[in-house]
Structure 1
């Protein structure tokens, strides 16, 4: 097993796929690896790390924090197949944050999530900062169809568990 190399490849992909304001600083990830409610999945294709999934599993709710594939593999159905498995195997509401449709890729991403059974539940959402004093990011919340009325409770849980709001923790 090549744990150090695997973690470096995942870290590279996180940095490539997400702007700094949409991910925590890399030094904040190791403590998450030991929590019982977080799951990190490395997507392997041809022996190489080509993607990642970071999920939070709270029993009654599954939150997809980060999902990414290497750019050259996007648009070929691999991401859809992986996410379909995650969303359908959750057997409980699945929720995620997504960028509003300002570009073609953002519109396609929302369309992908809709094909997987997710629905836009909250358009006026500001993602808390991963850094003390950092800027909030305007995103949308999407969740499993039929669970839109529960979105405020879902968002409250995400704010506390993922971003550390309301627990006296300035950084998450």
Structure 2
């Protein structure tokens, strides 16, 4: 797992255990029991005001939202987007959809110094090679502001790895695309 934040949708069906309040007025989290596990689901402010009136412990809920996973430890937060009360007891379950693969990006510095040192031809070469390799749907190329390495231009950054390359020549494009995008 990468060191970056990954977001994926989830569906949770379980019984309400209790509310975790903020300021004794607003519900901050719902404690939901799913089989033998307990999940804390963060509630947006808009939903938190109305939940106290409608729900009571042991109610069955269906919660949809997003799961944010940070870092390599696998620690995650569940944030609710919709909450439905179920009339009949359901089979408790948690479904976390696969992480949506974000489009990889190549940022090319467009500042004058980088552009004059070969940035323009580098940008055009990267575009051409992405088309040749049929990678235009998977890799986005963007012009960006100064990368603060003007004397070492042209400069590029490869995302999501955030790896910066300086003094990149047109001859290096094939190797970089091979290394990161195949």
Give the structure with the larger strand fraction. Answer: 2
**Which entry has the higher C-alpha Rg, 1 or 2?**
2
TM-score by length of 2: 0.21
Relative contact order higher in (CA < 8 Å, ≥ 6 apart): 2
